[in-house]
C-alpha cells in the first residue's frame, strides 16, 4: 500500500459540503456503486468528473489523481462493501479491497455528484487485534493524572500492531513523560525521553519557523513570488506565476501533495523520498500546470514545503539540517534533533519502526523534500520546542510569533506558517501531526492555557486520537 501518500492526503481529501437538501441513503448508494465500478476500472477521470464544482476547487485534479494512483488503486479491486452508517447525508461503508479494508465516507447530491469523499484504513478494535498482554511502562501510576494518561495510552499501545509509545506533557514549567512498549520488538527497552523517533510532518513547523526567522532577518519576504528564487528554465513556466513564498508554507500554492514524477513502484514505496533530488523536482515544475488560482484554496502539499526548504537553503547558504541546528536546535538546547544519524550515542537509543501491519520497515531518507518531513527528534527536545513556542525565547520570539500568525483562515482550514489551528472547548491550539512508513507523531500546544502535549510512536498506526484525548484531558 502507498502509505506515504495516504498519510499525507487523508486529512485533506474529505471535503464534505453537504447541500441543504441532503442526499438520501438510496441516492448515496447509487453514487457509491458508480465510484466502486470506476475504482475497479481505474477510471480516474470518470471519478473526478463526478465531484461537485466546490469539491474540485478544493482538490485539484492533479492532487486527486496522485492520491488515487498512489493510495487507492494499489489496494486492488473492491470485493465487498458493507454499509455501516447513514447520518446527515453521509454514508459510511466498510470496503474490502483485494489487499486491505478501508472505511469510505461518501456524500452525494440530487444530481448524482459527490460533495464529500474520504478513504481511511479501518483501525477499530475489530480490525486490529489487541495484545494478549499488558505493555511495559514507566508510568508510576501514582496520581490521578498518571492514571488518566495510562488510560489514554493503553487504548493505543494495546493494539497488536503497535510497538512503542512516548507521551509527553508540558504544564506550569514542568514536564511529564511516559514510556510504553519497546523501542524494538523483543528488546524489552521502554522508550524514554531521549529515545529518537521520526517526527514526519511536524518538521513542517520547523520549516515555518525558519521562514519566519529569515523574513525577520530581511533575507526573504512572504509576498515574494517563488519564481524569483527558481532557475530561469523553471521560472519561465506560467503555471507557477502568482505563487508566493507564504503559499508554500500554508498549503495554498495549488501544488500537488507529492510530485507526480516520483517513483511509485513497490520498492520505492519503502523509502519514497530517497533519491528525489532537485533535478527531478525542477523537471516536474518546468511542465507543471496549475489547475486553481494560487492562494484561494487549501491543499496540503509536501512538495510545496519541500520547495520552500530548498529556497531557504539557497538564501541562507546552509543545508536544511544545518539551518535547523543553527536557528532552532542550538538556541533551544535541542541536542538530538537531526536529519541524519551520525553519532553512536544517538544511534544507541533510536527506535526501530513498523508499518500498519506491525512489520519492521526502514526509516525514510529525504533529499529535496527534506523540509516536509525529514527530522528525527526526542520527547525531551520536542517538549523544549513546544515550551519555547508557548514562552518564546529572546532569540526566537519574533520568528515564532510570526509563524503563529494566521495566513489563511477560510472554511475549516486555519493555518499560520507551518502550524495549523484547532478549537477545543472554546480554546485555540496550534498543532501538527506526522507520519512516515513506520512512525506517527502529534504535537499541540495552547498558548493561553499554557500547556503542550506530544505523542511519538514507532508504529504507522495513527496517534491522532491519542493526541485528541490528551488535549481533552488537559482542558478538563
User: What is the structure's pLDDT at 14?
Assistant: 41
Query: Are the beta carbons of 239 and 288 closer than 8 angstroms?
Result: yes
Contacts (Cβ under 8 Å, ≥6 apart) of 216: 398, 399, 402
204 shares its domain with 301: yes
Q: Is the residue at 303 inside a domain? A: yes
- Whole-angstrom distance, CA of residue 392 vs CA of residue 368: 29
211 shares its domain with 71: no
- Give the tens place of pLDDT for each residue, 114-170: 988 988 877 554 467 899 999 999 999 999 999 999 999 999 999 999 999 999 999
User: What is the structure's pLDDT at 116?
Assistant: 87
Residue at which a domain ends, from 121, 155, 181: 121
Neighbours of 68 (CB within 10 A): 22
User: What is the structure's pLDDT at 266?
Assistant: 64
Roughly what angle, to the nearest 10 degrees, separates helices 302-316 and 278-286?
A: 120
Angle at the Cα of 183 from the Cα atoms of 177 and 187, rounded to 5 degrees: 125
Q: Give the end-to-end CA distance of the chain in Å, rounded to a whole number.
A: 39
Beta partners for 423? Answer: 428
264 shares its domain with 392: yes
340 shares its domain with 455: yes
Q: Is the residue at 325 inside a domain? A: yes
Q: Provide the CATH number for the domain around residue 318.
A: 3.40.710.10
106 shares its domain with 232: no
185: DSSP letter:
T
In this structure, what are the phi and psi dihedrals at residue 328, rounded to the nearest 5 degrees? -115, -55
- Sign of the dihedral through C-alpha 357, 359, 360, 362: negative
Q: Provide the CATH number for the domain around residue 65.
A: 3.10.450
334 shares its domain with 218: yes
Q: Is the residue at 208 inside a domain? A: yes
Residue at which a domain ends, from 74, 90, 121: 121
Q: Is the residue at 185 inside a domain? A: no
268 shares its domain with 396: yes
313 shares its domain with 447: yes
Helices (H) and strands (E) counted in the chain, each on its own, are 17, 16
Neighbours of 130 (CB within 10 A): 11
Give me the domain span that covers residue 94: 3-121
Q: Is the residue at 182 inside a domain? A: no
Q: What is the pTM (predicted TM-score) of this model? A: 0.79
- Whole-angstrom distance, CA of residue 201 vs CA of residue 7: 10
In this structure, what are the phi and psi dihedrals at residue 40, rounded to the nearest 5 degrees? -65, -30
275 shares its domain with 399: yes
The domain tally of the chain equals 2
User: What is the structure's pLDDT at 416?
Assistant: 98
421 shares its domain with 305: yes
User: What is the structure's pLDDT at 9?
Assistant: 34
Q: Is the residue at 181 inside a domain? A: no
CA 242 to chain CA mean position, Å: 26
112 shares its domain with 241: no
Residue at which a domain ends, from 106, 121, 136: 121
By CB neighbour count within 10 A (0-12 exposed, 13-18 middle, 19+ buried), where does 186 fall?
Answer: exposed
302 shares its domain with 438: yes
User: What is the structure's pLDDT at 467?
Assistant: 96
Q: Is the residue at 192 inside a domain? A: no
Q: Is the residue at 61 inside a domain? A: yes
User: What is the structure's pLDDT at 203?
Assistant: 98
**By C-alpha distance, which of 424, 300, 454, 355 is closest to 123?**
355
Sites in the chain below the pLDDT cut of 70 = 1-21, 123-127, 264, 266, 343-347
Amino acid at each position: 500500500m502507498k502509505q506515504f501518500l495516504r498519510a499525507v492526503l487523508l486529512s485533506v481529501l474529505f471535503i464534505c459540503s453537504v447541500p441543504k437538501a441532503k442526499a438520501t441513503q438510496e441516492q448515496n448508494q447509487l453514487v457509491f456503486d458508480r465510484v466502486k465500478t470506476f475504482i475497479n476500472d481505474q477510471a480516474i477521470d470518470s471519478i473526478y468528473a463526478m465531484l461537485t464544482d466546490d469539491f474540485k476547487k478544493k482538490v485539484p485534479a492533479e492532487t486527486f489523481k496522485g492520491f488515487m494512483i498512489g493510495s487507492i488503486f494499489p489496494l486492488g479491486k473492491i470485493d465487498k462493501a458493507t454499509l455501516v452508517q447513514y447520518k446527515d447525508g453521509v454514508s459510511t461503508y466498510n470496503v474490502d479491497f483485494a489487499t486491505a479494508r478501508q472505511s469510505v465516507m461518501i456524500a452525494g447530491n440530487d444530481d448524482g455528484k459527490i460533495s464529500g469523499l474520504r478513504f481511511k484504513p479501518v483501525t477499530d478494535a475489530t480490525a486490529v487485534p489487541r495484545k494478549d498482554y499488558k505493555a511495559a511502562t514507566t508510568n508510576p501510576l501514582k496520581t490521578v493524572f498518571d492514571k488518566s494518561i495510562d488510560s489514554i495510552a493503553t487504548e493505543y499501545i494495546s493494539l497488536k500492531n503497535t510497538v512503542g509509545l512516548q507521551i509527553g506533557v508540558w504544564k506550569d514549567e514542568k514536564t511529564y513523560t511516559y514510556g510504553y512498549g519497546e523501542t524494538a520488538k523483543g528488546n524489552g527497552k521502554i522508550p524514554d525521553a531521549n529515545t529518537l523517533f521520526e517526527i514526519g510532518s511536524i518538521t513542517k513547523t520547523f520549516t515555518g519557523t525558519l521562514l519566519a526567522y529569515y523574513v525577520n532577518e530581511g533575507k526573504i519576504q512572504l509576498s515574494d513570488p517563488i519564481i524569483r528564487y527558481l532557475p530561469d528554465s523553471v521560472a519561465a513556466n506560467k503555471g507557477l506565476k502568482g505563487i508566493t513564498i507564504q503559499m508554500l508554507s500554508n498549503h495554498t500554492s495549488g501544488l500537488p501533495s507529492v510530485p507526480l514524477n516520483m517513483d511509485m513502484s513497490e520498492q520505492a514505496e519503502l523509502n519514497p523520498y530517497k533519491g528525489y533530488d532537485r533535478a527531478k523536482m525542477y523537471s516536474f515544475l518546468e511542465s507543471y500546470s496549475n489547475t486553481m488560482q494560487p492562494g484561494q484554496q487549501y491543499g496540503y502539499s509536501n512538495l510545496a514545503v519541500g520547495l520552500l526548504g530548498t529556497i531557504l537553503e539557497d538564501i541562507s547558504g546552509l543545508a536544511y539540517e544545518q539551518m535547523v541546528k543553527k536557528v532552532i536546535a542550538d538556541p533551544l538546547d535541542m541536542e538530538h534533533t537531526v536529519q541524519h544519524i551520525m553519532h553512536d550515542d544517538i544511534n544507541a537509543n533510536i527506535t526501530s519502526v513498523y508499518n500498519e501491519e506491525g512489520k519492521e520497515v526502514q526509516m525514510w531518507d529525504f533529499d529535496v523534500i527534506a523540509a516536509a518531513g525529514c527530522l528525527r527528534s526526542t520527547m525531551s527536545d520536542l517538549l523544549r520546542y513546544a515550551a519555547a513556542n508557548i514562552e518564546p525565547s529572546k532569540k526566537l520570539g519574533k520568528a515564532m510569533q510570526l509563524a503563529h500568525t494566521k495566513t489563511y483562515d477560510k472554511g475549516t482550514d486555519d493555518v499560520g506558517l507551518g502550524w495549523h489551528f484547532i478549537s477545543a472547548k472554546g480554546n485555540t491550539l496550534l498543532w501538527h501531526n506526522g507520519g512516515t512508513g513506520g512512525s506517527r507523531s502529534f504535537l499541540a500546544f495552547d498558548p493561553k492555557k499554557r500547556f503542550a502535549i506530544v505523542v511519538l510512536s514507532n508504529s504507522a498506526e495513527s496517534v491522532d486520537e491519542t493526541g485528541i484525548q490528551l488535549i481533552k484531558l488537559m482542558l478538563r
